[in-house]
Structure 1
Amino acid sequence: MPVRKDAAGNRSVEAQVDVPGTPQGVWNAIATGPGISQWFVQSELEGRIGGTAVSHFAADGSMDSVATITAWEPPRRFVAEAPGEPGTVATEWIVEAKSGGLCSVRVVHRWFATSDDWDDQFEAHSYGWISFFRLLRLYLTHFPGQHGSAFQLLVPSSEPLADAWRKLVKPLGLVNATEQQRVTPPDTQAFEGVVERAGPQDHPELVVRLDQPAPGFAHLFALPIGGMTYLSARFFLFGDDAASIAKREEPKWRTWLQKHFPTPAE
């Protein structure tokens, strides 16, 4: 989404999605740590003004995003502010009830800058939210209110985006996957489900709603950063056995990714 800016240097970018559920149900999914962790990344959130919101983008804590809540109006709106470049960024979340059992969810990033240097990055943030919002909609459609188990793995590759992506999805039989296609990858990393999203070549992404190894969804994507390509495999699993299945599957996926994307020798 394009960056909006005024003559004073104030800038904003936003993304929006319609999801099923009541305002309170949707609020629980976007404004509580357990709720956010079901479709985004592992998170904690203190629901009060002055509370802390933490998002863990890497399991080792090396990519934590920490913000302070500056507005708290459940179940309608909250704002979290985080320091960083180009300065403090305020992220506003708004929930509005709609007809037909739906709610709109809108996220707005606001910041101040004296140049356009950061505009492309924040515009990319808005498209990233559109991708994550697909997972939010999937969660609220099929698993509303459930707290399952999730794991996320991230590996770097020195190969170009298209080559690295193909290297990830080819062994899984997903090179030409199309939306609504039922898939059963032939590799040892067996999972079954229906493709909910197949992204374009310049933003490669797959979302698979899973039947096996447990009900849930998988999110695979590739992202170019700093001359490298980073490949992510994220699994959100639900049901009584979700925790034990996630504990079993995570090391298998870690080994599989290391096999296909070995760490370069120093």
Structure 2
Amino acid sequence: MGHRFEKHDELALDATPEQVWDAIATGPGIDSWFMGRNDVQPGEGGTVRTLFGGYAPESPITSWEPGKRLAYGGEQAEDGRFVAYEFLIEGRGGGSTVLRMVTSGFIPGDDWADEFEAMSKGGALFISTLATYLTHFAGRVATPLTVFGPPVGDWERTWSAARAALGLGEHVSEGDPARFTVDGDVVEGVVYSVNSQTIGIRTPDALYRLLQGFHGALVAGHHFFSTVDTTHTENVWQAWLAGLSQEGNDR
């Protein structure tokens, strides 16, 4: 059966077209709001490559108009699966920009619904993160950190434990204050994105994100706009996620 989809999004940004282009069309720019480590081989016929965990998709660039239009992806697998992205940049007065995005593709199989829901929830987080990055950190480059927690038996209990650990209640809205402790340090920020599978929190020097991964596991996908020891920070968050997952399973 499968499911073909096409999603349109539009962002009005207080950022220049050049800043928007750098965010979507360079490896360091994508590192600052998406997932994992990214590399862009520029130009039509080039590639966009993302590496996180054991996943390393490589998408061909089909349109490359610096400051105006970027499109990549669309290659079909044997089962018909594909995903393609298009970004259209329109400069406005006062150094502002309108960014239009189209995400399209096909998910094969009769069990496509859960995968499509996860893709939609994750996509909403990434778009909100892009907007937050360009609003509060435009022109800066982040160090990305992606950490996978262990599988969990009950996602709802684990997600409830995650909200509590972040200093949030059962019902979370954008703009809510968050407060949590990592490695003995208290972190304070504000929720900039939330749905049933993701939470994004902005602080003065970082973007913290939790989302549902494979088998209901918690995934941390953070961006630090300050100097960090990546090995130490990864170990700290690995322990943080493991403890939280265990707490959720034990409730």
Q: Is the 8 A contact 2:218 2:241 kept in 1?
A: no
Match of 1:257 in 2: 241
Query: How much has 1:52 moved relative to structure 2?
Result: 1.5
CA deviation digits over 1:217-239, x for unaligned, max 9?
1112235x5xx212111221113
- The verdict on how the C-alpha distance between 1:162 and 1:47 changes in structure 2, with shifts beyond 3 A counting, is same
Query: Alignment partner for residue 187 of structure 2, among 176, 188, 192?
Result: 192
1:217 maps to 2:207? yes
Higher share of residues assigned helix: 2
1:140 maps to 2:134? yes
Match of 2:178 in 1: 183
Tell me the TM-score normalised to structure 1 length.
0.76
Q: Is the 8 A contact 2:166 2:178 kept in 1?
A: no
Match of 1:8 in 2: none
Q: Is the 8 A contact 2:179 2:189 kept in 1?
A: no
Q: Is the 8 A contact 1:171 1:187 kept in 2?
A: no
- The verdict on how the C-alpha distance between 1:191 and 1:198 changes in structure 2, with shifts beyond 3 A counting, is farther
Unaligned regions of 5+ residues in structure 1, if any? 6-10
Q: How many residues align?
A: 241
Backbone CA RMSD of aligned residues: 3.1
User: How far, CA to CA, are the matches of 2:168 and 2:30 in structure 1?
Assistant: 28
Query: How much has 1:124 moved relative to structure 2?
Result: 5.2
Query: Alignment partner for residue 219 of structure 2, among 232, 236, 239?
Result: 232
Query: Alignment partner for residue 228 of structure 2, among 210, 224, 243?
Result: 243
Query: How much has 1:142 moved relative to structure 2?
Result: 1.6
- The verdict on how the C-alpha distance between 1:79 and 1:253 changes in structure 2, with shifts beyond 3 A counting, is same
Query: Alignment partner for residue 64 of structure 2, among 62, 66, 72?
Result: 72
User: How far, CA to CA, are the matches of 1:204 and 1:96 in structure 2?
Assistant: 31
User: How far, CA to CA, are the matches of 1:57 and 1:63 in structure 2?
Assistant: 5
User: How far, CA to CA, are the matches of 2:6 and 2:166 in structure 1?
Assistant: 39
- The verdict on how the C-alpha distance between 1:122 and 1:16 changes in structure 2, with shifts beyond 3 A counting, is farther
What SS class does the counterpart of residue 248 from structure 1 fall into? helix
CA deviation digits over 1:142-197, x for unaligned, max 9?
21111131211122433232112123333443344554344332565534222223
- The verdict on how the C-alpha distance between 1:210 and 1:71 changes in structure 2, with shifts beyond 3 A counting, is same
User: How far, CA to CA, are the matches of 2:149 and 2:119 in structure 1?
Assistant: 20
User: How far, CA to CA, are the matches of 1:12 and 1:178 in structure 2?
Assistant: 27
CA deviation digits over 1:96-143, x for unaligned, max 9?
223454322222234478998757745753443222111112111221
- The verdict on how the C-alpha distance between 1:254 and 1:119 changes in structure 2, with shifts beyond 3 A counting, is closer
- How do 1:1-266 residues align onto structure 2 when only pairs under 5 Å count? 12-41=6-35, 42-58=37-53, 62-81=54-73, 82-84=75-77, 85-99=79-93, 101-111=95-105, 118=112, 121-122=115-116, 125-176=119-170, 178-185=173-180, 188=183, 190-197=185-192, 199-200=194-195, 203-211=196-204, 215-223=205-213, 225=214, 228-239=215-226, 242-244=227-229, 246-261=230-245
Query: How much has 1:50 moved relative to structure 2?
Result: 1.4
Q: Is the 8 A contact 1:86 1:118 kept in 2?
A: no
User: How far, CA to CA, are the matches of 1:83 and 1:135 in structure 2?
Assistant: 28
Q: Is the 8 A contact 2:40 2:46 kept in 1?
A: yes
Unaligned regions of 5+ residues in structure 2, if any? 247-251
Residue type at the aligned position of 1:216: A
Q: Is the 8 A contact 1:79 1:91 kept in 2?
A: yes
CA deviation digits over 1:50-96, x for unaligned, max 9?
112111232xxx11221111211111112212443524443222212
Q: Is the 8 A contact 1:57 1:65 kept in 2?
A: no
Q: Is the 8 A contact 1:13 1:110 kept in 2?
A: yes
Q: Is the 8 A contact 2:49 2:56 kept in 1?
A: yes
Aligned identity (percent) is: 28
User: How far, CA to CA, are the matches of 2:207 and 2:96 in structure 1?
Assistant: 21
